């Protein structure tokens, strides 16, 4: 144990010395922590990204790299990646919000395009009808002039 472990976890060094692995993990993450420890015991080293419980009750995140020094001694290096995890979560939330906004905007644009296409068809139809009527007027004027 060292002061860095105390600062990371919020527990005093004397508290950490009386604790075991299960004390730092939730029920959901404890199996991951135990599996990591087993890998270190049997393979000699392992690295894991795992949430842990801070003394204040908050959940923080570590990357733990550990090596087996002997049958009863292990050395672990811990990097607190809580800020990174929080930033990743915020990015995911922002991406989700952005995707929803894009979906809404896409629907709105499709509705506007459909409306414009409908109006365009109406205008084209109207213009064609006006041309037909003009042609008919020209034809009738010719007939009147020719005395028909």
In a domain, 43, yes or no: yes
Considering the domain boundaries, does residue 105 fall inside one?
A: no
Count structural domains, the chain: 1
Q: How many CB atoms lie within 10 A of CB 9?
A: 24
Does residue 62 register a pLDDT over 80?
A: yes
Answering whether pTM is above 0.85, one says no
Mean pLDDT over each residue of the chain, to the nearest integer: 93
Tokens of 24: 């730092």
Q: Which residues pair with 64 in a beta bridge?
A: 48, 78
The CATH number of whichever domain residue 61 belongs to comes to 3.30.450.20
| Residue 120 banded pLDDT, cuts 50, 70, 90 | very high
Is a pLDDT exceeding 90 seen at residue 116? Answer: yes
Q: Per the domain annotation, does 20 fall within a domain? A: yes
Task: Answer whether residue 108 is part of any domain.
Answer: no
| Residue 75 host element (H or E) | strand 74-80
Question: Residue 35 belongs to what domain range?
Answer: 3-80
């Amino acid at each position: 144990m060292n002061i860095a472990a105390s600062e990371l976890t919020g527990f005093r060094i004397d508290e950490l010395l009386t604790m075991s692995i299960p004390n730092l993990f939730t029920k959901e993450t404890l199996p991951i922590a135990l599996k990591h420890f087993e890998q270190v015991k049997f393979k000699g080293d392992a690295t894991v990204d795992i949430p842990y419980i801070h003394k204040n009750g908050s959940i923080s995140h570590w990357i733990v790299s550990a090596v087996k020094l002997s049958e009863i001694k292990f050395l672990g290096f811990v990097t607190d990646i809580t800020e990174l995890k929080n930033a990743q979560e915020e990015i995911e939330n922002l991406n989700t919000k952005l995707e929803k906004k894009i979906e809404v905007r896409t629907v709105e644009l499709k509705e506007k395009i459909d409306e414009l296409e409908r109006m365009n068809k109406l205008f084209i139809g109207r213009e064609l009808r006006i041309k037909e009527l003009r042609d008919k007027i020209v034809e009738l004027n010719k007939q009147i002039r020719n005395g028909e």
